[in-house]
């Protein structure tokens, strides 16, 4: 347990400790005043680093109050990602990465979610998606594109029971895109996003040439009827035109 001096704490905490010491006129555990115990308790909560997981995203999460020293340690771990809105760091969901995080945070007070005790080595899909994410960021694509590509690639691999994509190619891509259009009735725009994501996977990440052409069944673009006036509206418009024209 870490002990801290009174002069480093806020004034409200100081008076709160004095109140309990005078009110109960006792020294508390181990002969330590309530004032000191409160500071120890508050400091341990505020400075705690919490390591958890985001199962839906397949990421390890690390949360802590801002500290330049801790941030510097976190930046030594590879494949890190900062979530600005939620204010936390995330990393690939693997035992190797967890060990790297713990090694980087050696000497810090860390609380680990029990669910990470049974963390298994990263699967082929996890490793592949991490490579996709890394390359997307090297190319400075938008976050929206990153999420879209990862989602479509994950769905493609799941459709073939997480089979190694290097064992597949144009035939499987064509079948999957046709499945999206025919069975899932997606519109043209999402189907194009899926197509671009799979091209990125094979050409940019796996460095594979898709020699055969991909002639998937294309989703139909929604037809938009032009906005026209009714017959009554047209007649009223004509009646407003001055005679002689």
- Over the stretch 20-30, which tens digit does the pLDDT of each residue have? 444 444 444 44
CB 88 within 8 A of CB 61: yes
What is residue 118's predicted lDDT score, i.e. its pLDDT? 74
- Round to whole Å and give the CA distance between 195 and 78: 29
β-strand 110-112 against 49-54: which pairing, if any?
A: parallel
Burial of residue 45 (number of CB atoms within 10 Å: 0-12, 13-18, 19+): exposed
Distance CA 80, CA 137 (A): 11
State residue 76's pLDDT score: 93
Residue 133 and residue 127 in contact, taking contact as beta carbons nearer than 8 Å: no
The per-residue pLDDT for 141 is 94
Q: What is the pLDDT of residue 174?
A: 94
Are 39 and 9 in contact, with CB atoms under 8 Å apart? yes
Predicted pLDDT of residue 142: 93
Specify the pLDDT at position 33.
59
Grouping H, G, I as helix, E, B as strand and the rest as coil, residue 169 is coil
- How many CB atoms lie under 10 A from the CB of residue 213? 7
User: Would you state the pLDDT for residue 116?
Assistant: 84
Give the pLDDT of residue 5: 32
Residue 131 has a CB neighbour count (10 Å cut-off) of 15
**Cα Dmax for the chain:** 106
pLDDT at 199: 95
Q: Please list the ranges in the chain whose pLDDT falls under 50.
A: 1-30, 42, 44-45
The values of phi and psi at residue 114, to 5°, are -55, -25
Q: What is the pLDDT of residue 3?
A: 32
Per CATH, the number for 124-205 is: 1.10.150.130
Domain boundaries, the chain: 6-46, 50-118, 124-205
Task: Show the CA angle centred on residue 212, arms to residues 206 and 215, nearest 5°.
Answer: 110
pLDDT at 126: 82
- Name residue, tokens 């005078």: 22
């Amino acid at each position: 347990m870490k002990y801290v001096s009174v002069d480093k704490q806020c004034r409200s905490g100081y008076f709160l400790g004095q109140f309990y010491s005078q009110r109960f006129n006792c020294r508390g555990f181990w002969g330590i005043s309530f004032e000191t115990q409160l500071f120890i308790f508050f400091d341990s909560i505020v400075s705690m680093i919490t390591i958890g997981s985001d199962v839906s995203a397949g990421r390890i999460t690390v949360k802590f109050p801002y500290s330049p020293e801790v941030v510097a340690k976190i930046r030594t771990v590879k494949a890190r990602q900062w979530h600005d809105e939620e204010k936390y760091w995330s990393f690939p969901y693997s035992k190797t990465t967890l060990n790297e995080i713990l090694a980087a945070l050696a000497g810090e007070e860390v609380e680990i979610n029990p669910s990470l005790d049974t963390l298994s080595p990263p699967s082929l899909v996890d490793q592949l998606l991490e490579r996709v994410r890394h390359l997307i960021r090297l190319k400075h694509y938008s976050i929206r594109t990153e999420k879209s590509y990862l989602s479509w690639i994950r769905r493609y691999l799941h459709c073939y029971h997480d089979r190694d994509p290097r064992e597949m190619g144009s035939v499987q891509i064509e079948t999957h895109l046709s499945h999206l259009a025919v069975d899932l009735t997606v519109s043209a725009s999402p189907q194009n996003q899926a197509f671009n994501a799979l091209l990125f996977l094979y050409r940019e990440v796996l460095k594979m040439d898709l020699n055969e052409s991909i002639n998937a069944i294309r989703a139909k673009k929604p037809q938009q009827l032009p906005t026209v006036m009714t017959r009554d509206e047209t007649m009223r418009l004509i009646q407003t035109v001055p005679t002689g024209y």
